[in-house]
C-alpha cells in the first residue's frame, strides 16, 4: 500500500483516523501499531515476520545492554546488535551483488545466485533500530521496556517504507505522550496534500519523460534529449522523495508526532557540502551521528577527516542500492565533498558571482543523478558521453511521444517550485502579510483544487511507485 493510492486515501486512512480519535489515549499506540503492521503486510505479507523477528531480537538486546554493568559487556552487546541488523540487511539487499561479482572475478559460479526479494523499507527501519541500540549504548536514552512502544517506533507506517529516518532520541518522549490539537491536525492535512500533489501531479508526469528516455537504447538519443531526460529525472526524484517526506510528516502531525524535516530546497545550494545538508537530511544526520563521528569525525587531523568523509559517502552510495552505479554515485559525491573541504569550498565562499556556485552545484548533482538513474554503470557512462560529447550523426527522435503542452507546463512549474519561487518569495517585504492572507482566504481553496486534481489523475492510472521504495 502506498499513500498515493485510492485504498489508502479512501479506506485505510479514514478508518484509522476514526478509530484513533474515538479511542482512549492509552489504546492509541496499540491502534497505530496494529494499523502499521497491516499497512506493511498489505504488500509484503511474508516479510512482516522478518520485521517482528527483528523487533523481538533488538528488544531483548536492548534489555541486556541496559543491564550490562561494564563497558566491555556493553560494547559486546552493541557489536552483536550491529552485526545482527546489518547481517539481515546485507543478506536481503547485498547477497546477490557480492555473489555475482565474486563469480565474475573467478569466471565460475562459486556462489549460486538466489531468488531473494528485497523487503520494502528494510534499509530505513534497520537504521532506525541501530539508532535505538546506539543511543542506548551511549546512555542518551532509557531502555524501552514496553515492546509495543518499541515496535511502534520501528514500524510506524508514515515513515516506515521511505523515511524520513527517525532517530529514537528524537521520538522517545512522543511514544509516551504527545499532543493532538485541531491546529496540528489541520497542518498535517495541508502538508499531506502538498506532498501528494508533488508526487502525483509533478513527479509522476516527470517520470513519464525520464523513464522513456533512460529506458531506450542510449544510441537512439542525442544531446538535447539526454539533457532533457537528466533534468526531468533530477526534478522527478526531488518531488517524488520530498513529496513522500511531506506526506509522512503530515501524517505524523495528524497523530501527534513531530518528525524532522527531510528537505530544505536542496537545488538552491551553493556547494555540494550545502546540498547534502539540505537533501535527505535524516540520512545525512544519521550517517553523521552513527558513522562519521564514531570514526573520529574531524577530530583526528585533516587526512583522517578526508578518509572519514570518503567512507561515509561510500556507505551512502552502497546504502541506496546493491549496484556499482550507486557505489560510484556515492564515491563521486564524496570526492566533491573532500575537494570542497580541502580548498574548493573557500573559493566558492569568496566568489562574488553566486550564480557560478549554483551552476557548479547543479551540474555536479545532475551528473550524479545520471549514475543514480541509469540502468547500470556502463549505461550511465554512455549516457554521460551523449550529454557532453557532441556527434555529427543525424538522429530521428519522435518528440511528440514525450513532449506536449502539458509536459512543457509541468517542467516549467517544477523548475519554478524546486526553489526559485520560494527564494523570490523570501525577498518580498510584505511576505508575512501575504502569507496571512493566503492562509486565511486562499489556502483552503488551493488544497481542495490540488486534492481534486490528484484524485482525477490517480483515477486515470497516472501513477508509479515511489523511487525510494526500492531502497
CA quadruple 432, 434, 437, 439: dihedral, nearest 10? -70
Cα separation of 147 and 160, whole Å? 17
Task: Kindly list the catalytic residues.
Answer: 320
Task: Report whether 411 contacts 235 (CB < 8 A).
Answer: yes
For residue 15, the Cα-to-chain-centroid distance in whole angstroms is 27
Nearest to 293 by CA among 274, 303, 308: 308
Grid coordinates belonging to 397: 527522435
Q: How many residues does the chain have?
A: 471
Grid coordinates belonging to 57: 531480537
231: three-class secondary structure by DSSP? helix
For residue 394, the Cα-to-chain-centroid distance in whole angstroms is 40
Nearest to 262 by CA among 15, 31, 468: 468
Cα separation of 186 and 209, whole Å? 34
Q: Supply the DSSP string of 408-465, one letter for each residue.
A: HHHHHHHHIIIIIHHHHHHT-TTHHHHHHHIIIIIHHHHHHHHHHHHHHHHHTT----
Task: Report whether 136 contacts 82 (CB < 8 A).
Answer: no
Q: How many CB atoms lie within 10 A of CB 138?
A: 13
Nearest to 92 by CA among 59, 57, 136, 125: 125
Task: Report whether 77 contacts 125 (CB < 8 A).
Answer: no
Amino acid at each position: 500500500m502506498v499513500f498515493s493510492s485510492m485504498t489508502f486515501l479512501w479506506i485505510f486512512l479514514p478508518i484509522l483516523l476514526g478509530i484513533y480519535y474515538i479511542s482512549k489515549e492509552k489504546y492509541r499506540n496499540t491502534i497505530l501499531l496494529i494499523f502499521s503492521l497491516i499497512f506493511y503486510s498489505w504488500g509484503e505479507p511474508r516479510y512482516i515476520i522478518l520485521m517482528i523477528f527483528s523487533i523481538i531480537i533488538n528488544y531483548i538486546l536492548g534489555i541486556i545492554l541496559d543491564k550490562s554493568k561494564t563497558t566491555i559487556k556493553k560494547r559486546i552487546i552493541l557489536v552483536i546488535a550491529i552485526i545482527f541488523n546489518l547481517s539481515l540487511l546485507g543478506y536481503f539487499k547485498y547477497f546477490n551483488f557480492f555473489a555475482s561479482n565474486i563469480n565474475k572475478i573467478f569466471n565460475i559460479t562459486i556462489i549460486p545466485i538466489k531468488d531473494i526479494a528485497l523487503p520494502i523499507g528494510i534499509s530505513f527501519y534497520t537504521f532506525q533500530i541501530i539508532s535505538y541500540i546506539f543511543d542506548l549504548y551511549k546512555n542518551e536514552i532509557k531502555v524501552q521496556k514496553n515492546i509495543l512502544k518499541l515496535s511502534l517506533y520501528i514500524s510506524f507506517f508514515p515513515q516506515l517504507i521511505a523515511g524520513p529516518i527517525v532517530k529514537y532520541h528524537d521520538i522517545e518522549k512522543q511514544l509516551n505522550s504527545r499532543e493532538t490539537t485541531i491546529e496540528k491536525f489541520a497542518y498535517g492535512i495541508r502538508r499531506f496534500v502538498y506532498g501528494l500533489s508533488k508526487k502525483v501531479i509533478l513527479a509522476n508526469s516527470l517520470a513519464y519523460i525520464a523513464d522513456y528516455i533512460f529506458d531506450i537504447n542510449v544510441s537512439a538519443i542525442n544531446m538535447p534529449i539526454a539533457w532533457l531526460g537528466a533534468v526531468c529525472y533530477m526534478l522527478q526524484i526531488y518531488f517524488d522523495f520530498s513529496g513522500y517526506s511531506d506526506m509522512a510528516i503530515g501524517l505524523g502531525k495528524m497523530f501527534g508526532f513531530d518528525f524532522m524535516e527531510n528537505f530544505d530546497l536542496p537545488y538552491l545550494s551553493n556547494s555540494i557540502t550545502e546540498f547534502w545538508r539540505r537533501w535527505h537530511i535524516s540520512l545525512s544526520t544519521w550517517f553523521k551521528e552513527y558513522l562519521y563521528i564514531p570514526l573520529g569525525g574531524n577530530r583526528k587531523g585533516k587526512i583522517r577527516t578526508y578518509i572519514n568523509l570518503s567512507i561515509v559517502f561510500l556507505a551512502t552510495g552502497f546504502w541506496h542500492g546493491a549496484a556499482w552505479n550507486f557505489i560510484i554515485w556515492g564515491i563521486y559525491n564524496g570526492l566533491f565533498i573532500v575537494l570542497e573541504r580541502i580548498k574548493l569550498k573557500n573559493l566558492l565562499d569568496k566568489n562574488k558571482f553566486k550564480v557560478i556556485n549554483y551552476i557548479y552545484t547543479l551540474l555536479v548533482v545532475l551528473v550524479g543523478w545520471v549514475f543514480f538513474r541509469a540502468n547500470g554503470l556502463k549505461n550511465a557512462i554512455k549516457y554521460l558521453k551523449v550529454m557532453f560529447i557532441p556527434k555529427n550523426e543525424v538522429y530521428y527522435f519522435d518528440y511528440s511521444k514525450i513532449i506536449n503542452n502539458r509536459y512543457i507546463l509541468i517542467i516549467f512549474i517544477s523548475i519554478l517550485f524546486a526553489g526559485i519561487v520560494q527564494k523570490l518569495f523570501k525577498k518580498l517585504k510584505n511576505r508575512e502579510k501575504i502569507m496571512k492572507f493566503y492562509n486565511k482566504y486562499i489556502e483552503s481553496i488551493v488544497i481542495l483544487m490540488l486534492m481534486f486534481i490528484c484524485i482525477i489523475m490517480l483515477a486515470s492510472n497516472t501513477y508509479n511507485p515511489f523511487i525510494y521504495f526500492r531502497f
